Amino acid sequence: MRRRTSMPVLADPVWWSRPAGRPGSALRVLVDCVREHPIEEAVPALAGYVGRRGVAPLHDLAIRHGVIGCLWTALRAGGLDGRPDTGPTREAYTAALGRHLRTLSDLDLVLDVLAGFNVTPLVMKGPVLAELVYRRPDLRGYVDLDLLVPATEFPLALSGLERAGCTVYERNWPLVRDRRLGALRLTTPAGGVLDLHWHIFYEHAVRAAMPVDVAVLRERARTVLLGGRQVRTLDPLDTLAHVAVHAALDGGDRLVWLKDIEQALLYRAVPDWEALAERAGQWHAAPGIALMLHRARRVLGAPVPGAVLGQLVPDRAWRGLVRGSDAVPPLSAGRASLGRAVARAARSDGPASRRELARRATAFLHGRDRERFDPDDPESAAYPAGGAAERNAYLDDVRHGR
């Protein structure tokens, strides 16, 4: 039985008074499709919007926000799935289901390979959220499979996966070593994407700012059934903390991340709020966790006490920044916005978060705060540089905790 909190749980109507969230807009209708409701019932505003504007604006927004499953099930419940313009949404929904099945197949391969080296990974995010957190797996699309292995076993795990046919995306080994990346991205033989982590956080600067003890996370891990196999994953509170922190670090501006939190609270991890506050402190990430809980409450009406932001983050200046940045709806889905900047700056406490926000603002103005993906760009991780010597030096650093 889920524990109830004596604190009030309210959706905040102020958010909807802002222009981007006005009733009848594509964003407002999509939020209605995403917010928890009986899945077989029609979303009241959906038919009217589709009749006026068609499905395309909603489809484009759903792709950007990672909630194509929520849109498709709402179209189907409203009897709108037979319209000709729902074809792209149907195809995207079907493709997401196909990726999920392929990922479960990839997981079988990877677990078998790693078992041969006596390496037991933690499976995180993607399939865990779809199968174990969401009430229905088709509501949660994702792209990659995230595995966490001990740093001391990371080189062995990587070598074993490469021998099994996986290929590493990163080729700029001086950059990888200099930035001390906490994961490498691999492509599986079936074409899936596998992120092999030796740490929860990808960037060294984030690990330094939020020094969560990964060994403790592994000790608290649980065994679950996923795709017919027993796997290890984070415990429910660590899962909630993990999705909230990573959402904040990525900008906290996509509906899928708010839906993750809503589903975890409704179905899997309705917490003792004091226990959650303690866990947020252990992650050294209370500002980011509080910010994402705050947004999930305001946008989706997630069952979060209204005072949670103040409880987790006593710093009034930071709370003011959070509320000010959310005065305009924060759902920019990757586009530059104050809400995105504030979320990405969240660190171990309020003062540290404010300092990081100032640093990021300066870096942005000078063009130094942009991730680079072009393989022809020397600043990209995909740019070929360094060779075997630098790669081995990076792996040696990881293994020895340098």
Which carries the bigger pLDDT value, residue 364 or residue 175? 175
Q: Which candidate, 293, 303, 302, 268, places its Cα nearest to that of 132?
A: 268
- Mean pLDDT in the chain? 91
Q: What mean pLDDT is predicted for residues 382-401?
A: 92
Backbone phi and psi for residue 196, each to the nearest 5 degrees, phi listed first = -95, 110
Question: Is 61 a residue whose pLDDT tops 70?
Answer: yes
Confidence of residue 367 (pLDDT cuts 50, 70, 90): low
Q: What mean pLDDT is predicted for residues 182-197?
A: 98
Q: Supply the pLDDT for residue 6.
A: 33
Question: Is 12 a residue whose pLDDT tops 80?
Answer: no
Q: Supply the pLDDT for residue 166.
A: 98
Strands across the sheet with 167-168, in order? 167-168, 183-187, 193-197, 144-148, 122-124, 229-233, 222-226
Question: Is 16 a residue whose pLDDT tops 50?
Answer: no
CA atoms within 13 A on the CB side of 117: 21
CB 62 within 8 A of CB 49: no
Q: What is the pLDDT of residues 308-364, one digit of tens each?
A: 889 899 999 999 999 888 877 677 777 788 899 999 999 999 999 999 999 988 887
Residue-by-residue DSSP string for 13-62: GGGGGSGGG-TTSHHHHHHHHHS---TTSPPHHHHHHHHHH-SHHHHHHH
Q: Supply the pLDDT for residue 119.
A: 98
Q: Supply the pLDDT for residue 371.
A: 58
Which carries the bigger pLDDT value, residue 307 or residue 77? 77
Q: What is the pLDDT of residues 217-270, one digit of tens each?
A: 999 999 999 999 999 999 999 999 999 999 999 999 999 999 999 999 998 766
Give percent of the chain above pLDDT 70. 91
Question: Is 7 a residue whose pLDDT tops 50?
Answer: no
Question: Is 368 a residue whose pLDDT tops 50?
Answer: yes
Q: What is the pLDDT of residues 109-163, one digit of tens each?
A: 999 999 999 999 999 999 999 999 999 999 999 999 999 999 999 999 999 999 9
In CATH, what class is 99-232+371-402?
alpha beta
Neighbours of 41 (CB within 10 A): 10
Question: Is 8 a residue whose pLDDT tops 70?
Answer: no
What whole-number distance in Å separates Cα of residue 258 and Cα of residue 353? Answer: 21
Residue-by-residue DSSP string for 309-359: HHHH---HHHHHHHHHHTTS----TTS--HHHHHHHH--SSHHHHHHHHHH
Q: Supply the pLDDT for residue 383.
A: 82
Q: Supply the pLDDT for residue 121.
A: 99
Question: Is 366 a residue whose pLDDT tops 50?
Answer: yes
Q: Supply the pLDDT for residue 18.
A: 43
Q: Which candidate, 204, 175, 192, 165, places its Cα nearest to that of 384?
A: 175
What whole-number distance in Å separates Cα of residue 19 and Cα of residue 209? Answer: 36
Question: Is 2 a residue whose pLDDT tops 50?
Answer: no
Which carries the bigger pLDDT value, residue 7 or residue 76? 76
Longest dimension (CA), the chain: 62
Model-level pTM?
Answer: 0.92
